[in-house]
Every structure is written in C-alpha cells, then in structure tokens.
Amino acid sequence: MKANNKKAQHEHEQTEKQKQYARYLLTLDAGRRNEMLANMRLPLRTKMRGFIRDAWAEKVAGFEESVKRSYLERLRNTKRQEYNELLPLVAAYEAAAAQKMEKAAC
C-alpha cells in the first residue's frame, strides 16, 4: 500500500512539473516551442500539447471580454478544430473564476 502511495505521489509531482514546463513552453515563440516539442517522444509530446492548450485556455479566459470575443471569433473562422478544443476549456476556467468571485462576495 505504501509503494502505491509513493508511486501516486511521484506521478503527481511529475505532472505538476510537466504543467509548469508547458507554461514555460507557452512563453516561447511558436518555432522554438515546436522545435522543443519535436524532440520529445510522442506520448510526452501529446501530453505536453494538452497541458499547453490548457494553460493557453486559462490565459484566454482572463482576457478582457472584447479581446476574448475577438480572439475566439478569429480562431473559429481560421482554425475550427483548435477553436472546438479550446472553447470548452475557456468556459470551464470562466466558470471557475465566476465561482471564486461568488465565494469572495459572500
């Protein structure tokens, strides 16, 4: 039982480190980010792309309303699949932010 707990703790720590690295990758220009992703093995690359998308959705959710609407409309018109993947994540972050605001108001 202790070994399973240790393994779960290690996996959690690894996931957190990977999420932090994904946020770092998001700060790089697209060419450099894609170069670094290309050097990863496919399973890790796929996982990192998901973390990057999640981190980007969090940023988009924090945009000013008009900027967010403009960005999402442009994305919908130019990259429909990316828009379809990003929109539910943005909505989830917005809902979480609204819930935090509600709790803070109480």
In whole angstroms, how large is the CA radius of gyration of the chain? 17
Task: Please write the tens of the pLDDT for every residue from 1-54.
Answer: 566 787 778 787 889 999 999 999 999 999 999 999 999 999 999 999 999 999
Instruction: Taking each helix axis as running N to C, give the angle between helix 42-61 and helix 2-27, from 0 to 180 degrees, rounded to the nearest 10.
Output: 60
pLDDT at position 3: 64
Phi, then psi, of 79 in degrees rounded to 5: -135, 75
